[in-house]
Amino acid sequence: MSYNNFLHVALLVLTCLEAVRGQARIVGGGTTPIAQNPFVVNIRDNGGKLVCGGSLVDPRFVVSAASCIKPYKANQLTVQGGAQMFSNPGVRRKVDRIIYPANYDNVTLDYDVVVLRLGNELTGTNIGTINLRTTGVPVGANLKVLGWGRLSENGENSNALQSVLVAAISKNDCLQSYELTPTMFCAKAPGADACEGDGGGPAVLNNELAGIVSWGFGCARPNYPGVYTSVAKVAPFINQAISNNS
């Protein structure tokens, strides 16, 4: 086979591999009913574009990631709950206040958490709150990550809510890939990850909010786990933000 033909075959094989990988969802997950996950919300801008995910922790307060909310003002953001499909009406509330932790660092992404106060309580069918986990996530624990973000690294957002399971790994393992701060933990599974648009969304363990989707290099790349904000570490900030702004 000529060198030129070899190149063509190699390219074809790579393209096919890419097509198989491209079938993955959240990345690598599947559609899940909102009724089973009534605390998960999405946050959109005034143009209706997905900004990030979030979790309802009180009828008037949503937890999300500072890194994805930072470019916006409160009056540019709307929270949608009770909807399986991003394109459905669901129940929508305006954000009236954004509360950042003093410790948030936009370079290291230390303390990547934010509390959003809604103009009115978010209640209705398939809408409910989730409790905060107050102890660390054990290595090997399977977390359920939820969102409407990209189905593959360079792909499109999902209209239907997606969920995927990823396993928590040790800090030492994750330090092979990244620099981490004490508020971060990592989780991974083959072909599975959160992706752009899932930021701020929940990582759930035992029906508690254990992690907040924060960052990662690409999506579902073998040597690059997803990084999550540890809710146990930032729970004092979340509780204070709610009590100071109620």
- According to DSSP, the β-strands at 131-132 and 208-215 are parallel
Site string for ligand ARG, 145-174 (x = CB under 6 A): ----x-------------------------
Q: Least Å distance between CB 230 and ligand ARG?
A: 15
Give 60 or 114: the residue with its C-beta nearer to ligand ARG. 114
DSSP at 158 = P
- The number of CA neighbours under 13 Å toward the Cβ of 61 is 21
Listed ranges 89-97, 157-165, 189-197, 203-211: which one lies at the site for ligand ARG (CB under 6 A)? 189-197
Q: Give the range of 10-18, 41-49, 82-90, 195-203 binding ligand ARG by CB under 6 A.
A: 195-203
* Pick from 44, 53, 51, 25: nearest CA to 219: 25
- 3-class secondary structure, 1: coil
Closest CB to ligand ARG among 29 and 199? 199
List 219, 232, 235, 238, residue binding ligand ARG (CB under 6 A): 219
Q: Residue 165 or 242: which CB sits closer to ligand ARG?
A: 165
d(C-alpha 148, C-alpha 44), whole Å: 11
Q: Answer whether 144's CB lies under 8 Å from 163's CB.
A: yes
**Contact region with ligand ARG (CB under 6 A), list: 4-12, 75-83, 178-186, 196-204:** 196-204
| CA angle, residues 76, 100, 164, in degrees to nearest 5 | 80
Per CB under 6 A, residues contacting ligand ARG are 52, 67-68, 149, 193-199, 213, 215-216, 219, 226
